[in-house]
Amino acid sequence: ENFEVTCTYVDTALGQGAVVVFHDITELTQAEQMRRDFVANVSHELRTPLTALIGFIETLLGPAKDDEAVRARFLGIMANEAGRMERLVRDLLSLSQVEGEARVRPTERVEILGLMESVRNALAPLARDADVELEITAEDGPVEVKGDSDQLRQVLTNLVENAIKYGRAGKRVEMTLSAVAQMSELQGQGVAVTVRDHGAGIDEIHIPRLTERFYRVDSHRSREMGGTGLGLAIVKHIVNRHRGRMRISSVLGEGTSIRIVLPLG
Ligand code: ADP
């Protein structure tokens, strides 16, 4: 059914007939379908907090106008919903930025151990609130890759944020750096960063789909934790643009480990 058909009647010296051309549009339809799904998802994700906001505003303008306690509580919820919309827009912008060019311009040299330490410091308050200890192990000393430091920071931030969000209170989240991973014959040596948590883990049937935009194992949990469903899609694109590899492994009940390998250079 994925054919576009054109039919032309011909009248030549050899006789009359019809030329029917079948044009395979499978790929086109798939791309179009993906685009439509994406727009539908974005609209849905934006509409949910927006509907809540409108509801609360109407209540505050009407029935709860003079109720001080209700007003304070509603404003708190509204700030939450607005924050959710803001995160979604921020992640959409990041995604469109990293989806754009095929390859990052590898102008900067990025020192990975320093980046890991900086991400740990930035996420320390989140970790404290979740009662998770962020630990860095460096099997090798400082090591540099060529790339975009803002984007690589985002990769580590998204992975560590997830590990904190979906990890277990009282347990650690470990970031490990190892500079000796072999990537492939062509790419030679790479730098491996692994982020591991000791949370509930992910059933293996979900793993291949985790980097799809808006794919969530448990949407309720993800939203409750402030997730947009775009974090791992952004990670995948950035890693690809750095000619890197990403591997997700998880054991239900034991935790998840995500390993990124970037070409050394
Ligand atoms: P979200 O914003 O929902 O966290 P992500 O793209 O970062 O979106 O992750 C997609 C889904 O993958 C999450 O909704 C969650 O179900 C699952 N996930 C990601 N990281 C982990 C982890 N460390 N442990 C368990 N599940 C995870």
Q: Interface pTM (ipTM) of the complex? A: 0.98
* Residue of the CA atom closest to atom 21 of ligand 1: 162
Separation of alpha carbons 189 and 261, rounded Å: 9
Q: What is the pTM of this model?
A: 0.86
Pairing mode, strands 255-263 and 188-196: antiparallel
Task: Kindly report, residue by residue over 89-119, the tens digit of the pLDDT.
Answer: 999 999 998 987 666 666 789 999 999 999 9
Separation of alpha carbons 124 and 115, rounded Å: 14
Assigned token pair, 217: 């194992």
Q: Is the pLDDT of residue 27 over 90?
A: no
Lining ligand 1 with CB less than 6 A are 158, 162-163, 166, 197, 199, 202, 210, 215-218, 222, 227-233, 256
Q: Which atom of ligand 1 is nearest to the CA of 223?
A: 3
Task: Kindly report, residue by residue over 207-217, the tens digit of the pLDDT.
Answer: 999 999 999 99
Assigned token pair, 107: 């102008």
Tell me how many degrees the CA angle 178-180-182 measures, rounded to the nearest 5. 125
Separation of alpha carbons 164 and 167, rounded Å: 5
Q: Is the pLDDT of residue 186 over 70?
A: no
Alpha carbon of 222 to ligand 1 centroid (Å): 7
* 186 Cβ contact list (under 8 Å, min separation 6): none
Judged by DSSP in three states, 92 sits in: helix
Q: Residue by residue, what is the 3-state secondary structure of 32-83?
A: HHHHHHHHHHHHHHHHHHHHHHHHHHHHHHCCCCCCHHHHHHHHHHHHHHHH
Percentage helix, strand, coil for the chain under 3-state DSSP, each rounded to 5:
45, 25, 25
Task: Kindly report, residue by residue over 47-86, the tens digit of the pLDDT.
Answer: 999 999 999 999 999 988 888 999 999 999 999 999 999 9
DSSP 107: -
Average pLDDT over residues 34-41: 91
